[in-house]
A and B are shown apart, each in its own frame.
Chain A
Amino acid sequence: MIIGGFQDSKLSNSQTDMIEVKNIDKSFDGNQVLKNISAVFEDGKTNMIIGASGSGKTVLMKSIIGLHRIDNGRIEYDGRNLPDMRMKEIRILRREVGMLFQGSALFDSLSVLENVMYPLEMFSPVSKEEMEIRARFCLKHVNLEEQSFKLPPSEISGGMQKRVAIARAIALQPKYLFCDEPNSGLDPKTSLIIDRLIHDITVEFNITTIINSHDMNSVMEIGENIIFINKGEKAWEGTKEDIFHADSEELNNFVFASELYKKVKIAHQ
């Protein structure tokens, strides 16, 4: 099915679009924040980077996107090494990327609908009518009601802002989706809705999704490939099932810090 000039099916993005980071280091003013990190983020999966505040997970995500220039290592988008690219090439690559920011980062001066249409207007060759059809489709896909389309972002709730940001991120049918703390500031129920939405979109459109989080509910709900960062190093990697049997002390201290998760672990064992 074609919606607003875009093909709405898994077939539109059926090739392998994984991201591979190899031995990356990053320092700020002599302070090494990332130490020799390697990981593979597979397509069609919700890959999660978890860790305590200040562990370096946001720096890792921003380095993968290219907002921070790494000191050493490789960041390969389906074989294309990001640090070797020129600015122009990076911009072209970024058109394949969607990102959900911690604070949604919606443009204040535009309405909800215009926010979603913005990337289409910048980069899509389709007509304005088709752009609007596509934007409306994306907004409805994230369960937003028609009456909110004309409102400015400041007049909708935090959860709705997150949904608009997801709609904007998927408007151009990205191959890669990055989510930085998608549940920050949201209540548990809304968090769950956002998590499931991200997961469903990842599977439906076969996107390589990387989520930065320290919310254990999210990890247990949608984490398929999980990387634990501790003090700038990759301390553990596995699935949400593996977490219960992990022998990493740092990971256990982080994941099973609350009484609830301690009980869950005991029950699981």
Chain B
Amino acid sequence: MNIFQDAGKYVLLMKRVLVFPDRWRMFFRQFPKELEKLGLQSLPIVIIISVFIGAIMTIQTKLNTENPLLPAYSTGLVTRDTLLLEFSSTILCLILAGKIGSNIASEIGTMRITEQIDALEIMGVNSANYLILPKIIAFVVMVPFLVIFSMAVGLIGGYFVGVFTNIITTADYLLGIQYAFIPYYVFYSLVKSLVFAFLISSVAAYYGYYANGGALDVGKASTNAVVNSSILILFFNLLITNLMLN
């Protein structure tokens, strides 16, 4: 029953969020701040994780494809397709759900328990729209760049570990990451990431917006936001993959 209640409340909240802002000037003042906070400030973690995953994937792929029948470039090819299809969209978004989701839920939740949201409502401001819309749009705008960046950095990480540990030659790796390249995979990955970005930001905002009580409840809202947006990411990953690749 709670799931249905939550779903209903979420839809009603989105109905208030997804309308034109009362003042575009205020929206555009908030929007660049959110781009910076949700997008640019996520770059370090995206770089670190992508470099290491790209590197690890190259080593593991090489170890598991030690077969003379498989061409040498297959390590680069598998690393590329894994990054393109799954890591740089789904896994990266699961990680961002932790960082961005908890950030949004705790920020809005703290505003709720310190009556800042009530203050906005009393002023006659559509608080849901004012607080949540810039975050959703900023994150949806930034995520494709983060995904593309993650793909590139992951491939570079794979290249460096492959070449410096002598498990693959530069020529084989470069051939592998270009061989049988299907641009549709990038499109598929970007579509997924856009959906995930919306889910992460809106679900986190929902839990923050309806937080009540004290600091403990903000923590609980933050945890719920991360857990539930992660579950939704996995569910929508399955759904979109079935629709776009099957």
Is B truly associated with A? yes
A173 to B121, CA, bound (A): 17
Shortest Cβ distance from B122 into A: residue: A99
Which among A67, A94, A178 is the interface contact of B123 at CB below 8 angstroms?
A: A94
Question: Judging by beta carbons under 8 Å apart, are A122 and B125 in contact?
Answer: yes
Cβ-defined contact, A101 with B26, below 8 A: no
* Bound: A152/B114 CA distance, A: 16
A105–B124 touching, CB < 8 Å: no
Residue among A94, A105, A106, A118 having the largest count of chain B Cβ atoms under 10 Å: A105
A94 near B118: Cβ-Cβ < 8 Å: no
A105 pairs with B22, CB closer than 8 A: no
The CA-CA distance from A108 to B116 in the complex, in Å, is 9
| CB contact between B118 and one of A90, A101, A121 (< 8 Å): that residue | A101
Query: A95 touching B118 by the CB < 8 A rule?
Result: no
Q: Which chain B residues border A102 with CB–CB below 8 Å?
A: 115
Q: Is the CB of B123 within 8 A of A122?
A: yes
Which residues of chain B are near A113, meaning CB under 8 Å? none
Is A254 an interface position by the 8 A CB rule? no
Q: What residues of chain B lie closer than 8 Å to A118, measured between beta carbons?
A: 123
A97 touches B25 (CB 8 A): no
Chain B residue numbers with a CB within 8 Å of A236 are: none
A67 touches B118 (CB 8 A): yes
Give chain B residues whose Cβ lies under 8 Å from the Cβ of A106: 116
User: Hey, which chain B residues are within 8 Å of A94, CB to CB?
Assistant: 121-124
Q: How far is the CA of A121 from the CA of B126 in the complex (A)?
A: 14
Q: Judge whether A107 is part of the interface by a CB distance below 8 angstroms.
A: yes
Q: Is A123 an interface position by the 8 A CB rule?
A: yes
Output the least CB separation between B114 and chain A (Å).
6
Docked-complex contact B23 and A121, CB < 8 angstroms? yes
**Besides A121-B25, A123-B124, 6 other A-B contacts (C-beta < 8 A):** A94-B122, A97-B122, A97-B124, A107-B119, A119-B123, A123-B123
